[in-house]
Amino acid sequence: MRAIFALLTGFNPKAYHDASRAQQPRLSFTSQGHTMSIKISSQFDAGAIELVSATSASSIDLNIRRDSHADISQWFYFRLQGAQGQASTIRFLNAGKSAYPAGWDGYQAMASYDRVEWFRVPTSFDGEVMTISHTPEMDSVYYAYFEPYSWERHLELLDRAQLSEQVRMLDLGSTVEGRDMNVLVIGDPAAGSPDGKKKVWVIARQHPGETMAEWFVEGMLDALLDPADAFGRQLLKEAVFYVVPNMNPDGSVHGNLRTNAAGANLNREWNTPTMERSPEVFVVKNKMLETGCDLFLDVHGDEGLPYVFVAGSESLPTFTPAQAAQQKRFSDDFKIASPDFQDMHGYGDSPYTDETLTMGSPHITHAFGCLSLTLELPFKDNANDPDPICGWDGARSARLGAAVLQPILQALRNPA
């Protein structure tokens, strides 16, 4: 098309580009100190930061922005321009007042030049201020709390999945701001044994800033739909999967850590969701009541603990020894499937309170009596097997997602 346009008009795009470059002198770093001006921006999908001042690369002061409709701050994602080759000092002045300040201890921020390959950069925290110390190699660099998972990639994930003959994509309704709430139905509910196939529900990103959860789901879906994956093949013979890769689309686009566009923490809405405050939970819960549930995974990210672990429903007064044994078997099988999973570190026991049934996994255990777990992935790294370059990242989350098929299959074949 470009060649035809040039032929018809006599326009030479390369010559125009070269002439434009000659007419517009490039800004560069010199020994005389001439530099591009420092610029901080976040007006893009999931971008979130507040600029305090940026007088030079060595003196950039920021505040972590609150969620769009709630007084919670932890997620950040922004772009720095004009600091190529300069030792940059980026200070987050209110880090000590964030939702989880302990999450900054031992934490290393993520950076990328192309938003595809992400790596860790030196980061420190003195109890009040968090500081990134990094010398960018390019004119433009992005920094984020964790490797982002964009709304566009989310839509691409749904579209790619529905191309499989095993998949139907259903619309459940809309979010507070009108974004689509979709569930992927994988497998044929009508086929299988006379009693029907087992129903597996997997949801992710109730807390939108926990992007590792959707990376996990992407890896799980890729394995489940891979004809060469033995666990995927067996599971689709015995079960139907209902997968919601992103429970909180509005919060994801806004760059929120924990809440939706009504300021609701969706993982505290399961007992009495409403269409006004938490339509995302309302429509998913209604679909679950329609289909039933034999196994439920709610995938999250943990700010403080550098481990992969699960939290169960032990605090429920109705929790039985058989359910405890099933939960332990799942953990034991997951440890075999992936060395990244462990059960030595986690949340520990917590008492039953009025809040318990507002949370996803204990609510589902109470409602359906099935194995129901909250799976936590780290924002930091896996302390049992650290990666000094990337820490825990999207790719490692996806590989864990592929590995979860093995313990799911075993759990369905060996119910309590």
Q: What confidence tens digit (pLDDT) does each residue in 220-255 have?
A: 999 999 999 999 999 999 999 999 999 999 999 999
Q: Is the pLDDT of residue 35 over 60?
A: no
113 versus 3: the higher-pLDDT residue is 113
Averaged pLDDT, 26-32: 34
What is the dotted CATH code of the domain comprising 39-144? 2.60.40.3120
Instruction: Say yes or no to pLDDT of 13 above 50.
Output: no
Instruction: Give CA–CA dist 318/337, Å, rounded.
Output: 30
Which 8-state DSSP code applies to residue 92? E
Count of beta carbons in the 10 Å neighbourhood of residue 284: 25
pLDDT for res 36 = 75
Q: Choosing from 214, 218, 280, 376, which is the catalytic residue?
A: 376
Residue 307: Cβ within 10 Å count? 22
Q: How far is CA 97 from CA 66, 93, 124, 349, 413, in A?
A: 11, 9, 15, 27, 47
Per-residue pLDDT, averaged over 141-146, amounts to 99
| Residue 117 appears among annotated catalytic residues | no
DSSP 136: -
The residue-averaged pLDDT of 332-358 equals: 96
Inter-residue contact 254 to 45 (CB < 8 Å): no
Q: What is the pLDDT of residue 416?
A: 67
pTM (2 d.p.): 0.91
Residue ranges per structural domain of the chain: 39-144, 151-413
> pLDDT tier at 193 (50, 70, 90 boundaries)?
low
| pLDDT surpasses 80 at 32 | no
Mean pLDDT computed over 171-175: 98
**How confident is the model over 298-328, as pLDDT tens digits?**
999 999 999 999 999 999 999 999 999 999 9
Per-residue model confidence as pLDDT tens digits over 101-141: 999 999 999 999 999 999 999 999 999 999 999 999 999 99
pLDDT above 90 covers a percentage of the chain that reads: 88
Give tens-digit pLDDT for 245-289: 999 999 999 999 999 999 999 999 999 999 999 999 999 999 999
- CATH class for the domain made up of 151-413: alpha beta
In this predicted model, what pLDDT tens digit does every residue of 55-95 receive, in sequence order? Answer: 999 999 999 999 999 999 999 999 999 999 999 999 999 99
Cα(389)–Cα(120) distance, integer angstroms: 6
